[in-house]
């Protein structure tokens, strides 16, 4: 359980999250994920990082129950951990391929939205249930996956969008049966890793440099409103029902 790193092929590092039952991460796991991605990117022998997960889904966001139990200190830790993990993916010195299966919700969208490429299984769904969880955030990253008005509609309704639909928008590279997800992600990573390592790192820095949105700053701005919702009491009121029947598992 937790976060692990493997090197299945030369030039490729796979960072895998395993936090049952639904990969909803406590604060310490977000920081561990951030460090694993950064360490892989710093390795001069690595030319592409694959971000993967095991279990029912890719990622279900933060561990709401941890926040319920520990209050504001846990919220602050989760905010910092998510910001660190999202930034680590975006700022990784080498390209990052996200291999997404099942649910990709909340913080999962933050990770996938900051990746350089996404390969998804046929059962993958992406969404931000934040308004149903007494939180805000990751609109920055959803906006990297869908057009602006669709992002707003998905955000306000807390609806999900399928991998096939995202493929139609051009934000998912391939959609494959779940058993073929990691092989498909490795196939893309292999093609990327075949390029010159130094040039790949320059290309990543150059592409980040021309990005029209400061993703780190935009997300931190959103998080300010998350904490405002907590201080106002509205977040706790909405989260009071979390964990009851039908509320504790991703759709």
Q: Would you give per-residue pLDDT tens digits along the chain (251 residues)?
A: 799 999 999 999 999 999 999 999 999 999 999 999 999 999 999 999 999 999 999 999 998 888 777 877 788 898 999 999 999 999 999 999 999 999 999 999 999 999 999 999 999 999 999 999 888 999 999 999 999 999 999 999 999 999 999 999 999 999 999 999 999 999 999 999 999 999 999 999 999 999 999 999 999 999 999 889 888 999 888 878 765 644 445 64
Selection from 86, 117, 76, 24 nearest residue 219 by Cα: 86
> CB-based burial of residue 148 (10 Å sphere; 0-12 exposed, 13-18 middle, 19+ buried)?
exposed
Structural domain includes residue 167 = yes
CATH of the domain at 148: 3.90.226.10
100 lies in some domain: yes
The rounded distance, in Å, linking the Cα atoms of 15 and 85 is 12
* Structural domain count of the chain: 1
In a domain, 62, yes or no: yes
Which residue range forms the structural domain that includes residue 98?
2-179+197-239
* pTM confidence score: 0.94
**Do the Cβ atoms of 175 and 122 come closer than 8 Å?**
yes
SS3 state of residue 76: helix
Domain membership of residue 250 (yes or no) is no
């Amino acid at each position: 359980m937790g976060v692990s790193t493997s090197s299945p092929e030369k030039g490729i590092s796979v960072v895998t999250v395993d936090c049952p039952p639904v990969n909803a991460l406590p604060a310490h796991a977000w920081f561990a994920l951030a460090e694993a991605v950064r360490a892989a990117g710093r390795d001069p022998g690595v030319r592409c990082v694959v971000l993967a997960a095991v279990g029912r889904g890719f990622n279900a966001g933060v561990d709401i129950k941890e926040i319920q139990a520990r209050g504001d200190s846990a919220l602050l830790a989760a905010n910092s951990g998510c910001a660190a993990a999202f930034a680590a993916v975006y700022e990784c010195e080498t390209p990052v391929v996200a291999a997404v299966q099942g649910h990709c919700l909340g913080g999962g969208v933050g990770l996938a939205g900051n990746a350089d490429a996404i390969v998804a299984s046929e059962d993958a769904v992406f969404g931000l249930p934040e308004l149903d969880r007494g939180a805000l955030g990751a609109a920055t990253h959803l906006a990297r996956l869908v057009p602006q008005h669709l992002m707003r509609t998905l955000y306000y309704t807390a609806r999900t969008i399928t991998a096939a639909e995202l493929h139609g928008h051009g934000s998912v590279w391939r959609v494959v049966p779940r058993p073929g997800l990691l092989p498909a992600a490795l196939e893309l990573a292999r093609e990327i890793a075949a390029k010159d390592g130094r040039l790949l790192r320059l290309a990543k820095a150059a592409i980040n440099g021309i990005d029209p949105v400061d993703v780190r700053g935009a997300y931190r701005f959103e998080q300010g409103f998350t904490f405002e919702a907590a201080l106002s009491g509205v977040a706790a009121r909405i989260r009071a029902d979390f964990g009851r029947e039908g509320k504790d598992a991703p759709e």
